[in-house]
Amino acid sequence: MIRIGLFSKLSQVPVKTLRYYDEIGLLEPAEIDRFTSYRYYSIDQLPRLNRILALKDLGLSLDQIARLLAEKVPAEQLRGMLRLKEVEIQQQMQQEQKKLTRVATRLKQIELEDKMSKYDVVIKEVEPQWIASVRDVIPSYPEQGGLWRELETMLSQNQVKGTGPCFTLYHSDEPKIDAEVCEPLTEGGSLPPHPRVQARELPGTEVAAVIHHGAFTSISEAYEALVKWIETNGYQFNGPCREIYLQLPAKIGDQNDPDTVTEIQFPVVKA
Amino acid sequence: MIRIGLFSKLSQVPVKTLRYYDEIGLLEPAEIDRFTSYRYYSIDQLPRLNRILALKDLGLSLDQIARLLAEKVPAEQLRGMLRLKEVEIQQQMQQEQKKLTRVATRLKQIELEDKMSKYDVVIKEVEPQWIASVRDVIPSYPEQGGLWRELETMLSQNQVKGTGPCFTLYHSDEPKIDAEVCEPLTEGGSLPPHPRVQARELPGTEVAAVIHHGAFTSISEAYEALVKWIETNGYQFNGPCREIYLQLPAKIGDQNDPDTVTEIQFPVVKA
DNA sequence: ATACAGCCTCCAGTAGATGGAGAGTCAAGG
DNA sequence: CCTTGACTCTCCATCTACTGGAGGCTGTAT
């Protein structure tokens, strides 16, 4: 029987950790002095500790290890756990690879501009949502006013209210801009038939997004930054881009207001 | 000014998290109602939140992000941080790769034997240590008894005591076994000159180790398992192997005692 | 007026330790 | 026998980045 300090030295595991393993019942000393509470370990507890370290090293949690060592887990189940772990690690590595690319992108961008970019791209998941929309080809971006008026008129006639910030979907680029102006509705919201305004569900998707804060006239910078990011980080475009008008309803409309806040989202998939 | 729920919806960040960011001073609401304590955010706080998310995504801690956003950190320093992060991630990925190999090794081994092996290999760092030793070529492993007697005699004559479990270094294999029996000393311990017994420092090294618990006569199984592990996990041998006799001094000597506990260590380097 | 959703604060818990305070224990030296 | 110093004990706090819940206001819609 040896004391915790020696056991620690032999096993290269800190005393504190041994006490912790005792506390959670993962490795209890062979004996505890009833009067002094000193822990006494036996040399032949080293194999168990080694097994714990080896399993921990494979990425199992102490909880899992405890269960493995407690019950006699069949080899079958152990195999399952390890295969699961294998997949987990592979995914983890892919994540790391992605992160590495993103760090590299940032770094390159900083070296070029010698400052942090104005735009920060984030990847997020957007939920499916119901919308009412009007779609048409317009000659230039600012000329969607007519579409908005059509949509608003129809909605107010039917006493339907939007449930979030409205946005435009751009189905195609210049010179023939195919724009669809949208207003979110409550789930499953239906509308009476109408030649121009339709309700439909927009599917959920992963998007790359930036927020543009400043006059609308300079929004192209944001698009530029976003597109560049998507391309260098190995994502692929996967649907029409969304331009979300985040400012409070009262303020919408002025193309030159420097306090305009707009979010641009491109649906993407990992390449 | 919008309330926390809407801000949360717009940013896709949970309410709880926003409150947490407020608490740690990372993102404070533009305004807090003095009577109700309601948090009110401004739309144009979204870019800051996005920046936070983007930096977090690069693997920076909230603390680092807070410092980045607080002081105007020069681009220089930011570059430094990112480069550091880059290296960190690469190392992380190497670790993961290693772990993947280890999991695969285990899996293969379980598929072969349909049970968990008796032996668990762990990698650890051993400290440099001073030893007194006698080295000679012996015809067979059990015949190191003479060397041990030489060493013990010399040490007791000089009233030097060992400071830990003694061990044998095997500098070469069968048939000409070049063995060095060792007893650890206190640091910098020196001995009077002696033709057979010398004191020296054993350098620290990384080792792969297993513990054999059972009669000495079956220790070859442990060697087998360890060597196989080292080879399949892509490490390389890097020095003489150590066989450490862990049982309490009183019990040493019986080759057939089934309670013998021995640790085998091979110095290794990552291939 | 009354739901009911939304918001508040405070407390607890996660995993796997790590660090420290304050007190008891053990072996050796004088 | 006393002291010193190394070990050991328990208990508590801390770390990261949240998450969950209880219990109690607030604001809005009907």
**Nearest 5°: phi and psi at B189?**
-60, 130
Cβ contact A262:A212 at 8 Å = yes
Cβ contact A261:A252 at 8 Å = no
**Going by DSSP bridges, is the β-strand pair B205-213/B235-237 parallel, antiparallel, or unpaired?**
unpaired
Q: How far apart are CA A208 and CA A263, in angstroms?
A: 10
- Look up the CATH number of the domain holding residue A139: 3.20.80.10
- Residue A249 — pLDDT band, cuts 50, 70, 90? low
The whole-number pLDDT of residue B253 equals: 62
CA of A184 to nearest chain B CA: how many angstroms apart? 13
pLDDT, chain A, mean: 90
Give the CA distances from residue B130 to residues A155, B154, B170, B198, B240, in Å, rounded to whole numbers and listed in that order.
86, 16, 17, 11, 16
- Look up the CATH number of the domain holding residue B24: 1.10.1660.10
Instruction: Return the closest-CA partner of residue A169 out of A109, A245, A64.
Output: A245
A87 CA → D12 C1’, Å: 39
Q: How far apart are CA B261 and CA A49, in angstroms?
A: 13
**B252 vs A contacts (CB less than 8 Å):** none
Q: What residue in A sits closest to B2 (Cα-Cα)?
A: A248
3-state secondary structure of A187: coil
**B263 vs A contacts (CB less than 8 Å):** 10, 46
Half-sphere exposure of B154 (CA within 13 A, CB side): 22
- Residue A158 — pLDDT band, cuts 50, 70, 90? confident
pLDDT, chain B, mean: 90
**Is the confidence at residue A113, as pLDDT, over 70?**
yes
The whole-number pLDDT of residue B251 equals: 57
What does DSSP assign to residue A204? P
**Is the confidence at residue B60, as pLDDT, over 60?**
yes
CA of A195 to nearest chain B CA: how many angstroms apart? 31
**Residue A268 β-bridge partners:** A237
The partner residue sitting opposite A211, judged by closest CB among B2, B46, B121, is B46
Mark yes or no for CB contact B121/A59 under 8 Å: no
In the predicted model, what is the mean pLDDT of residues B41-47?
A: 94
B46: its two tokens: 């979204």
The whole-number pLDDT of residue A160 equals: 80
The partner residue sitting opposite B51, judged by closest CB among A111, A120, A125, is A120
Q: Are residues A195 and A153 in the same domain?
A: yes
**Going by DSSP bridges, is the β-strand pair B129-138/B167-172 parallel, antiparallel, or unpaired?**
unpaired
**A111 vs B contacts (CB less than 8 Å):** 79
Q: Best mutation site among A46, A100, A121, A262 for testing chain B: the one with the most B CBs within 10 Å?
A: A100
Q: How far apart are CA A2 and CA B165, in angstroms?
A: 12
Taking only the tens place, the pLDDT of each residue in B194-210 is 889 988 899 999 999 99
Cβ contact A254:A261 at 8 Å = no
Q: Are residues B15 and B106 in the same domain?
A: no
**Is the confidence at residue B250, as pLDDT, over 60?**
no
**Is the confidence at residue B248, as pLDDT, over 70?**
no
**A263 vs B contacts (CB less than 8 Å):** 10, 46
The partner residue sitting opposite B122, judged by closest CB among A53, A125, A211, is A53
Nearest nucleotide relative to B39: CA against C1': C7
Q: What residue in A sits closest to B11 (Cα-Cα)?
A: A124
Kindly list the protein residues whose beta carbon lies within 7 Å of any strand C atom.
A 14, 16-17, 20, 33, 35-36, 38, 56, 61-63; B 3-6, 8, 15, 19, 36-39
The whole-number pLDDT of residue A18 equals: 97
The whole-number pLDDT of residue A195 equals: 86
Mark yes or no for CB contact B79/A246 under 8 Å: no
Q: Are residues B28 and B82 in the same domain?
A: no
Q: How far apart are CA A203 and CA A127, in angstroms?
A: 7
Q: Are residues B158 and B200 in the same domain?
A: yes
Assessment of whether the complete model's pTM goes beyond 0.85:
yes
> Which strand D bases fall within 7 angstroms of a protein CB?
7-10, 16-20, 25-27
Q: Are residues A214 and A258 in the same domain?
A: yes
3-state secondary structure of A31: strand
**Is the confidence at residue A133, as pLDDT, over 80?**
yes
Taking only the tens place, the pLDDT of each residue in B90-113 is 999 998 999 999 999 999 888 888
A7 CA → C26 C1’, Å: 17
Taking only the tens place, the pLDDT of each residue in B207-230 is 999 999 988 889 999 999 999 999
The whole-number pLDDT of residue B114 equals: 79
Q: What residue in B sits closest to A258 (Cα-Cα)?
A: B44
**B248 vs A contacts (CB less than 8 Å):** 2, 43
The whole-number pLDDT of residue B252 equals: 60
B30: domain range? 2-70
Q: Are residues A155 and A181 in the same domain?
A: yes
B228 CA → D8 C1’, Å: 40
Q: Are residues B80 and B60 in the same domain?
A: no
A21 CA → D12 C1’, Å: 18
**Is the confidence at residue A177, as pLDDT, over 70?**
yes
Kindly list the protein residues whose beta carbon lies within 7 Å of any strand D atom.
A 3-6, 8, 15, 19, 36-39; B 14, 16-17, 20, 33, 35-36, 38, 56, 61-63
Q: Are residues A134 and A262 in the same domain?
A: yes
Taking only the tens place, the pLDDT of each residue in B162-196 is 888 999 999 998 778 999 999 998 876 667 788 89
What does DSSP assign to residue A214? S
Q: What residue in A sits closest to B211 (Cα-Cα)?
A: A47
The whole-number pLDDT of residue A64 equals: 92
A187 CA → C12 C1’, Å: 36
The partner residue sitting opposite A106, judged by closest CB among B2, B46, B58, is B58
Percent of chain A with pLDDT over 90: 61
CA of B24 to nearest chain A CA: how many angstroms apart? 22
Percent of chain A with pLDDT over 70: 96
Taking only the tens place, the pLDDT of each residue in A6-42 is 999 999 999 999 999 999 999 999 999 999 999 999 9
In the predicted model, what is the mean pLDDT of residues B59-81?
A: 87
The whole-number pLDDT of residue B40 equals: 97
CB atoms within 10 A of CB A243: 22
| DSSP line for chain B | -EEHHHHHHHHT--HHHHHHHHHTTSS--SEE-TTT--EEE-GGGHHHHHHHHHHHHTT--HHHHHHHHHTT--HHHHHHHHHHHHHHHHHHHHHHHHHHHHHHHHHHHHHHHSS--S---EEEEE--EEEEEEEEEESSGGGGHHHHHHHHHHHHHTT----S--EEEEEE-SSSEEEEEEEE-STT------SSEEEEEEPPEEEEEEEEES-GGGHHHHHHHHHHHHHHTTEEE-S-EEEEE-S-GGGTT-TT-TT-EEEEEEEEEE-
3-state secondary structure of A240: coil
- Residue A192 — pLDDT band, cuts 50, 70, 90? confident
Mark yes or no for CB contact A263/B54 under 8 Å: no
Burial string for A214-232 (b: 16+ CB within 10 Å, else e) reads bebeebeebbebbbebbee
A15 CA → C20 C1’, Å: 15
The whole-number pLDDT of residue B257 equals: 82
Contacts across the A-B interface (CB distance below 8 Å):
150
Q: Are residues A86 and A211 in the same domain?
A: no
Q: Looking at the 3D structure of chain A, how many domains does it have?
A: 3
The whole-number pLDDT of residue A252 equals: 61
The whole-number pLDDT of residue A265 equals: 97
B88: its two tokens: 């960190």
Taking only the tens place, the pLDDT of each residue in B130-168 is 899 999 999 988 888 899 999 988 888 887 878 889 999
The whole-number pLDDT of residue A120 equals: 94
Q: Are residues A174 and A191 in the same domain?
A: yes
Q: Are residues B179 and B233 in the same domain?
A: yes
Q: Are residues A23 and A7 in the same domain?
A: yes
> Which strand C bases fall within 7 angstroms of a protein CB?
6-9, 15-19, 24-26
The whole-number pLDDT of residue B99 equals: 92
In the predicted model, what is the mean pLDDT of residues B61-72?
A: 89
A37 CA → C23 C1’, Å: 13
Give the CA distances from residue A71 to residues A53, A74, A78, B5, B110, in Å, rounded to whole numbers and listed in that order.
18, 9, 12, 47, 18
The whole-number pLDDT of residue A257 equals: 81
